[in-house]
Structure 1
Amino acid sequence: MKKPLAELFGTFSLVLFGCGAAGISGITATGPAGIGLLGISFAFGLAVVVMAYAIGPISGCHINPAITISMLVAGKIKAGEAIGYIVAQFVGATLAAGLLYLIQSGAPGFMMKEWALGSNGWGPGYLAAYNTTSAFVTEAVMTFVFLLVIFKTTSKWGNSSMTGLAIGLTLVLIHLVAIPITGTSVNPARSFGPAIFAGGLALKQLWLFIIAPIVGGIVAAIVWKGVFEDAVKS
């Protein structure tokens, strides 16, 4: 149970600090405030860096179902273990979102608006109001890039001492581009937790933030195994 519990804790921390920065001190559906886009990007990236070094030696620090599924496709994790990881990730994200709801509900005049608690979304009323196609392509492509970086940095040809930093900084870069489009998910669990409590459009649009990152992750696994892994070995 150590590995799933580590994944639960890691995903809990990612949502708590990342979505907490977005929902409490960063950016909302009505526009930028507080730490803004740059601050939110670093909140998510630094959360991954910290968790990579904290729980990486235990579980590998997936803290993301898209990563776990991609690793499964690449043959780097067994199906039974992957299921345990994914369940733990969704539970951790939901617990963190619940805690954020409890914290934010203590603010004067608190109201659960559309896409509350740092929820992901798209379309009219959400940040830059990009359409469904832009949202799907962004989430799939960004997850694809994210996973290729993870495959390389965690391989035996990567620099293990810099792995967490490289992955975290990649997530920062992804957020800098994708926040205005979707709020940046690249992680079905990260989207699931806040959407469960926010309801409304966040819950209705959740399908995209489950499917698109998984598609991007699967394609990354296929490309890594079919192209880049052999190139790195040579």
Structure 2
Amino acid sequence: MKKPIAEFIGTFTLVLFGCGAAVLAGADIGLTGISFAFGLALIAMAYGIGPVSGCHINPAVTLGVMASGRMGAGEGLSYIIAQTAGGIAGAFILLMIAGGTADYTLAENGLGQNGWGAGYLSEYTMASAFLFELVATFLFVVVILGSTGAGAPSAMAGLAIGLTLVVIHLVGINVTGVSVNPARSVGPALFVGGTAISQIWLFISAPVIGALAAGLLFKMGVFSPDPAA
């Protein structure tokens, strides 16, 4: 049970501090601050729980690892269940904290939920949202699988992965709020409801497709180091 517990805690932390930065401090720290909150939370967990579970804290990452052949289906399922539960718990605690001020309402301020279209940030189309989430997740999982593979400098993996998440957020917050992580999206959406729930399919399907594509390329050896190099 050590690995699922670690994944629960890691995903809980990512949602609480990443989405929390947007909800509780977004007006003060802006897009850049929110981006770094997500990335730094991931870096912290990579070194905190990475030695236990590998710090996937993301169902799409786990599916990518499974597709690459580095993890079996049974263990992967336990990770995904724990990650989803962690994302929901993180969103719930954030809601309890945010509700401690009279200036906050769930309907008005939300929980950092993802979305697209009319009324959401820069109002990008569904096609733009889907394409961004698919491509960003693909590249994210390429970095994860590459930096944790044989021959990679493992001590730097957490930093590389976390900084990649920062860059993804810097580019994509105005497009979708950035998911690249179904558990990060499901947690807030369950409590916000409405449009957030009706749009959740995109923040599950696009990251999953992108992650599986990255994993399969590693499985095929496309990114394997050249032995002669």
- Bigger mean CA offset, 108-117 vs 166-175: 108-117
Partner residue, 1:17? 17
Note the C-alpha offset of 1:43: 0.2
Partner residue, 2:55? 61
- Bigger mean CA offset, 56-65 vs 100-109: 100-109
Note the C-alpha offset of 1:38: 0.3
- Evaluate the alpha carbon distance shift between residue 233 and residue 69 of structure 1 in structure 2; reply closer, same or farther with a 3 A threshold: farther
Contact kept in structure 2, 1:74 and 1:222, CA below 8 Å = yes
Contact kept in structure 2, 1:115 and 1:201, CA below 8 Å = no
Partner residue, 1:153? 147
Contact kept in structure 2, 1:114 and 1:202, CA below 8 Å = no
Measured in 1, the distance between the counterparts of 2:53 and 2:109 equals 31
Correspondence for 1:197 among 179, 183, 191: 191
What whole-Å deviation, never above 9, does each CA across 1:153-211 have from its counterpart, x for those lacking one? Answer: 00122111100000000000000001000000000000000000111111111110000
What whole-Å deviation, never above 9, does each CA across 1:53-102 have from its counterpart, x for those lacking one? Answer: 00000000000000001111111111110010000000001011000111
Contact kept in structure 2, 1:127 and 1:181, CA below 8 Å = yes
Contact kept in structure 1, 2:23 and 2:109, CA below 8 Å = no
1:41 aligns with 2:67: no
Contact kept in structure 1, 2:18 and 2:37, CA below 8 Å = yes
Count of residue pairs the alignment pairs up:
228
For structure 1, list consecutive stretches of 5 or more residues without a partner in the other structure.
27-32
> For residues 66-215 of structure 1, what are the structure 2 equivalents within 5 Å?
66-113=60-107, 116-215=110-209
- TM-score of the two chains, using structure 1 as the length reference: 0.94
- Bigger mean CA offset, 103-112 vs 56-65: 103-112
Contact kept in structure 2, 1:114 and 1:201, CA below 8 Å = no
Partner residue, 1:2? 2
Measured in 2, the distance between the counterparts of 1:230 and 1:104 equals 46
For the residue of structure 2 that corresponds to 1:155, the secondary structure is coil
Note the C-alpha offset of 1:227: 4.5
Contact kept in structure 1, 2:67 and 2:219, CA below 8 Å = no
Contact kept in structure 1, 2:186 and 2:200, CA below 8 Å = yes
Note the C-alpha offset of 1:233: 4.3
Question: RMSD of aligned C-alpha atoms?
Answer: 1.2
For the residue of structure 2 that corresponds to 1:34, the secondary structure is helix
Note the C-alpha offset of 1:225: 2.5
- Evaluate the alpha carbon distance shift between residue 232 and residue 141 of structure 1 in structure 2; reply closer, same or farther with a 3 A threshold: farther
Q: Which runs of 4+ in 1 moved over 6 A?
A: none
Contact kept in structure 2, 1:115 and 1:202, CA below 8 Å = no
